């Protein structure tokens, strides 16, 4: 089988041929149909992600496909079952072995591409907004980096939860994508005074920050008293500077959110959240936006779309 791997740490990933793996105890083998890409894949290539595996390893954190074989002691999902898998690695390959407990049977009307695009972005945004920030109907949600994978998911889920959604993204084309996902107000990220623009809309109850840097600082400054700030990522490469006296005076709360960490912190929350996300997808209430879908042999090009900020929503790699 083919796999897109980091063969030597510090070297660019490459497409390589590997034996088809046999599942061990507690594992099953999946014939992979689609893999969603994430900013974390780029960090893994650079060795900067908090959970970067030891080389050699196959990139691709979230995937969907069909169960091929069960390892010893595994009773299901049965071979032939369509599943989604949050694997952390191994998705950019034609097959892989994964813990059976990570495999979620797919509703019939949810495609492999949708399932591969859905888990991390929509899972992150649902846990952040629903479990961490406690977003309520009628509140104002500001999403920074709103056209990216997790940002666009936050726009969609925030709208579904009844919030007034303010999308901050760079350029008219990206802002149009956020509007189609449910944003009520659009602000260009290059606005000279983002804080003033957000204040002009009445400020924010919740800020969802996947960007960091000066945009994050502006969003934090625009929070109303009692507001909540969600630290989701630092796509800008810089962390916002948080002034603790502002948190004190305005009774603000800062929530860190590392979605994968919930596998150990509170796995039941992750399971319940993903069940809700897939139920929404099956009902047509959420539809992940996939701006690019490329075959496995173009994985390097697919990753460059993320690195160059040329994608909106998700980039998916397919195996056929």
pLDDT (0 to 100) of residue 132:
97
Burial class (CB in 10 A: 0-12, 13-18, 19+), 139: buried
Fold that domain 2-106+289-318 belongs to in CATH: Quinone Oxidoreductase; Chain A, domain 1 (3.90.180)
Q: Determine whether domain 122-260 maps to CATH 3.40.50.720.
A: yes
pLDDT (0 to 100) of residue 212:
96
Q: Are 242 and 265 in contact (CB under 8 A)?
A: no
| Domain extents in the chain | 2-106+289-318, 122-260
pLDDT (0 to 100) of residue 1:
97
Integer-rounded Cα Rg, in Å, for the chain is 20
Confidence class for position 320, pLDDT limits 50, 70, 90: confident
pLDDT tens, position by position, 133-185? 999 999 999 999 999 999 999 999 999 999 999 999 999 999 999 999 999 99
d(CA 85, CA 11): 27
pLDDT tens, position by position, 296-316? 999 999 999 999 989 999 999
pLDDT (0 to 100) of residue 263:
87
Q: What pTM was computed for the model? A: 0.92
Reduced to 3 states (helix: H, G, I; strand: E, B; else coil), residue 97 is strand
Residue 239 has pLDDT above 90, yes or no: yes
Q: What six digits make up the tokens of 53?
A: 């595996």
pLDDT tens, position by position, 74-99? 999 999 999 999 999 999 999 999 99
Nearest to 143 by CA among 69, 213, 232: 232
């Amino acid at each position: 089988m083919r796999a897109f791997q980091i063969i030597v740490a510090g070297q660019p990933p490459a497409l390589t041929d590997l034996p088809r793996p046999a599942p061990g105890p507690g594992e099953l083998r999946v014939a992979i149909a689609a893999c969603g890409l994430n900013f974390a894949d780029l960090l893994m290539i650079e060795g900067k992600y908090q959970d970067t595996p030891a080389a050699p390893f196959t990139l691709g954190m979230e995937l969907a496909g069909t169960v091929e074989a069960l390892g010893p002691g595994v009773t299901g999902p049965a071979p032939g079952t369509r599943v989604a898998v949050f694997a952390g690695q191994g998705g950019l390959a034609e097959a892989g072995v994964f813990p059976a407990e990570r495999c979620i049977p797919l509703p019939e009307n949810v495609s492999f591409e949708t399932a591969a695009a859905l888990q991390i972005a929509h899972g992150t945004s649902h846990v952040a907004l629903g479990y961490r920030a406690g977003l309520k109907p009628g509140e104002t949600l500001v999403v920074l980096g709103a056209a990216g994978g997790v940002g666009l998911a936050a726009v969609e889920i925030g709208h579904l939860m009844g919030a007034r959604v303010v999308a901050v993204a760079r350029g008219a084309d990206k802002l149009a994508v956020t509007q189609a996902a449910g944003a009520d107000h659009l602000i260009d990220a290059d606005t000279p005074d983002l804080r003033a623009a957000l204040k002009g809309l009445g400020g924010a109850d919740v800020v969802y920050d996947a960007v960091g840097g000066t945009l994050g600082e502006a969003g934090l400054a625009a929070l109303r008293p009692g507001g909540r700030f969600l630290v989701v990522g630092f796509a800008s490469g810089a962390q916002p500077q948080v002034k603790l006296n502002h948190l004190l005076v305005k009774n603000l709360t800062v929530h860190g959110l590392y979605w994968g960490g919930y596998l150990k912190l509170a796995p039941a929350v992750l399971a319940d959240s993903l069940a809700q996300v897939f139920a929404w997808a099956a009902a047509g209430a959420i539809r992940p936006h996939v701006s690019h879908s490329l075959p496995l042999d173009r994985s390097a090009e697919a990753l460059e779309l993320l690195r160059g900020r040329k994608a909106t929503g998700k980039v998916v790699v397919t195996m056929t």
